[in-house]
Every structure is written in structure tokens, then in C-alpha cells.
Amino acid sequence: MKRLIAAGLTLAALAVQARAEEIKELNFGFISTESSANLAKSFEPLIKDMEKAIGVPVKPFFVGDYAGVIEGMRFKKVDIAWYGNKSAMEAVDRANGEVFVKTAKPDGSSGYYSLIVTNVDRTDINNLKDILDCSKGYNFGNGDPNSTSGFLVPSYYVFALNNVDPSKCYKRVVASNHEGNLLAVANKQIDFATNNTENVSRLQATRPAEAAKIKEVWRSPLIAGDPIVWRKDLPADLKAKIYYFFMSYGRLGTPEEIVHAREVLAKTSDGWGPFLASSDAQLIPVRQLELFKAKVKVQNDDKLSADEKAAKVKEIDAKLAALEDQQKKLPSM
């Protein structure tokens, strides 16, 4: 990891002047985990420091759903974006995106957990078995379809592995962002909802009274830290400046500059530390999860013949094997 960071910083520092003048403004996209006003307040100090460091105006880009940020990057309305892993995968596959760093905690660790949460007063909802009881007519708050923790991870671990279709199991399924789902649970508007540890921590900081009304009833395996993605076709010298900013922020500079950056990061989102180097390789587990989910769906599809199932499963297994081989070839970090 240290060698990778050092190499990236050296390349950034030595980057020649090339085509930065072609970019008059950099648009930074933010997935809609909560209201645009809250996101703007959280990320404004980081954006200002980034703008100063790279010498190009940086403008925040907010839309109502994850797909809007992905499409914004696809049509070059977004140059760099903060995504979850699933939405980053979509940006890489459909919008010429590339992962270059990921978020981390102040202690240097990276990662978070998907959750199912309910109101603290609910004595009838305490575990996975209760969540999957289709006889109760529950109202379920699902996440954005492009959300890793709000949709993909619970779709596989909670529902696919237990052969449960939420649309058939529950009286009502509504989709919202993480903040919306937490508030709906706190106010008893829905019975339970998907979420994650990052947004629960953020709610504890911003709206502690509502956060106190939330209880966790299911937790996923660890999910990799959120990727920061840029458009591959940005000018090379500008990418070098951007990379240098992210990897040096909170690490390099005068003692006062380092303290300032650490304070800004600590107040960004649910509380971050210095960024870590990353690449598209961090998306391999998400790709595997998508394929595992598809495999379970095929295996449980009664409309397919045995031969059709076997053919589809074979195709999925081949893709999984290719990803496993790719993962084995990656250098250890």
C-alpha cells in the first residue's frame, strides 16, 4: 500500500502541463444518500479545499437518485463522483468511469455494513426470521436500486438466499434514500428498512433524537469503503492533480494544514479519515454478488427446464470463475 501511494504521489508531482486548460470547471457528483441541502453542507469544505489545490472551480452535482449521477457521468455532466460500490460498478461499465481512491475512517480502516433497521419500540421485529415472516403484512422500506448497502447486499443475503420476493412478501414496498428510510422507521411510517452503519452514524450526529428511535435487526458482511470515481477521459495532468489532492489530503503539508484537513474529513459524511488508493479491482466482490444473486434466481425459477437452468448456471459459473482468476492475479496491498 505504501509503495502504491508513493508511486501515485510521485507521478502526480511530476505531471507535466498538458490539457488542464481544457477543463474550465469540474463537476463533482454525489449520490443521494440524504437531502441535497445536507450533502452540500457536509461536503462543501472538502470541495473548497479541492478547488484551491487543483486550481479549477469544483461544482457539486446533486440529483434525486443514484442513476442521475451515473447518467451525469455518462454524458460528461459529472467529472468525478462519490459512489457506493454498486453505483460505481455501473459508472465503470456504462459511463467510462474509473475508481482511483476510496474512503476510510479516521483510524485508517475502510468499510461499512448494510443493515436492516426497525423502530426501537418494535418488540415483534428482532431478527432475520421476523423480517422474513410474510404473514404479517409488513411495510418495507427498500433502498435505491443502485445502492450497494440499501439494495444489492440485502437483496442477496436477506432475500435471495432465503428465496423471498419482497414485492410478494410484504403489504407495501417503498424505495427511498438512506436518510428517508431512517426517518420513516423512526416515525413509524414503515415497519423496517434497509440502511447502513455510515448513515446511522451520520443520523446520530445530525438528528440524535430520531437516531435514538432506531434499532438494528440484521447486519451484513463487511462492504468495501465508498469509491471515488473519475471519468477516464479527463486530461492526464488534471487527473494527476486530483489524485495528488486526495492522497495527500490530511497526510502532507504543514502541521496546521494536516490538522485542518483531518478536521474537515472528520465532519464529512459519517466521519472520514485520509483516503486510500484503490482501483476498479475493489468492485470484484460486488460483481460476484450480482452473479451469485442471478444464480440463486435461476436455480429457483420454476419456469425454466432443467436443461435451461443448467445452461444458465454454467454461464454464470464461468463468469464467477473468471472474476476469481482476476482476483488471484491482483497484487497484495
pLDDT tens for each residue of the chain, 333 residues long = 555 455 455 544 444 334 545 778 999 999 888 788 888 899 999 999 999 999 999 999 998 888 999 999 999 999 999 999 999 999 999 999 999 999 999 999 888 999 999 999 999 999 999 999 999 999 999 998 888 999 999 999 999 889 899 999 999 999 999 999 999 999 999 999 999 999 999 899 899 999 999 999 999 999 989 999 999 999 999 999 999 999 999 999 999 999 999 999 999 998 999 999 999 999 999 999 899 888 988 988 889 999 999 999 999 999 988 998 888 887 754
From residue 88, give the alpha-carbon distance in Å to each of 68, 70, 198, 226. Answer: 13, 8, 17, 9
Query: Which pLDDT score is estimated for 15?
Result: 43
Q: Which residues pair with 276 in a beta bridge?
A: 102
Query: Which pLDDT score is estimated for 4?
Result: 47
Q: Model-level pTM?
A: 0.81
Query: Which pLDDT score is estimated for 9?
Result: 53
The residues, ordered by sequence, that sit 6+ positions from 129 with a Cβ below 8 Å of its Cβ are none
282 closest CA partner among 111, 158, 75, 126? 111
Helices marked H in 192-272 — which ranges? 197-206, 208-211, 236-248, 255-266
Query: Which pLDDT score is estimated for 14?
Result: 44
Contact 241, 53 (CB under 8 A): yes
Domains of the chain in sequence order:
2-109+225-280 (3.40.190.10), 112-223 (3.40.190.10), 284-328 (1.20.58.90)
Cell 438512506 belongs to which residue?
178
Contact 72, 61 (CB under 8 A): yes
Q: Which strands sit side by side in the sheet containing 26-30, from one edge to the other?
A: 58-62, 26-30, 80-82, 227-231, 97-104, 273-277
